[in-house]
Amino acid sequence: MRLDGQVAMITGAARSLGRSHALTFAREGADLLLVDRCRQDGPYPLAERRELEETAAACRRTGSRVVTAVADVRDRSAVEAAVAAGLAEFGRIDVLVNNAGLLAPGGVRSHELSEDDWNLVIDVNLNGTWRCCRAVLPHMVARRSGTIVNTASTGGRVAFEMYSSYVASKHGVVGLTKALALEYGRHGIRVNAVCPSTVAADDGLGSHSTRAVARTMGSSLEDYERSSSSYHAIGRLVTAQEVSAACLWLAGPESGGTTGTELLVDGGFTAR
């Protein structure tokens, strides 16, 4: 039980990678503050409150104590209220996993993006990550302990076409991670990023983003995943569970000497 007695806050927790992270952390003994926006008005179908509660129920079945909170990471006051709810219930937040993010709007050349579309991705992926860090860091500083795992992407290490706002936001997350690691290491706080490549769709986790990318490419999910797999040295896409295992390692005691880095979980995608 690598996280026994720990409390972890996970954003974007209702489904997909967030649900996988929540279940992985719960099985390793963590109590959980699970946060999601729970509204449907997005560039592709986003999670509902029902899905957040389903994730929470699955985690409780492992013995984990769970608090859920509805918050948009673009809203500072909502993020702070979610953190306050977690502190009121558990008295501490030991781990923050910044998982909330958007891949789209995208699939077009940069000059075809509207300013609103550009700002949406930057505000969720980069600014939202900063807002959540900002909300938990005073508590971690006071306790002189804490770990933060930010979700970047292979798009935070290399560029690819038609998703410039996403690439820019994830490069920003990597830079933010390094800056925070330098600022807060003296307070006993470690900050790292995980960089997954395309994650295989998993119906059990309610995945939607990979399907959304396939649609923008005019492809079926099956054809898109088959084509994308060919760019990975292992000949397949990575799984949500593999990304969650990396987050668990970064959050747990085995990575105690690791901070300010980005851990690639990309099946060799960036090795080319």
Of residues 44, 163, 166, 184, which has the active-site annotation? 166
Instruction: Give residues with Cβ within 8 angstroms of 28, minimum separation 6.
Output: 1, 2, 3, 4, 248, 252
266: helix, strand or coil: coil
Question: Is 166 a known active-site residue?
Answer: yes
Residue 256 is encoded by which pair of tokens?
Answer: 């105690």
95: helix, strand or coil: strand
Angle 240-251/16-27 helices, nearest 10 degrees? Answer: 50
The count of other CB atoms within 10 Å of the CB of residue 50 is 10
Peptide bond into 105 cis (omega under 30): yes
**Residue 131 contacts residue 73 (beta carbons within 8 Å):** yes
Residue 127 is encoded by which pair of tokens?
Answer: 């600014």
Q: How many Å apart are CA 13 and CA 244, to the nearest integer?
A: 12
Angle 221-229/209-216 helices, nearest 10 degrees? Answer: 90
150: helix, strand or coil: strand
Q: How many Å apart are CA 142 and CA 37, to the nearest integer?
A: 28
CA–centroid distance for 63 within its chain: 23
Residue 20 is encoded by which pair of tokens?
Answer: 């996988």
Active site residue ranges = 166
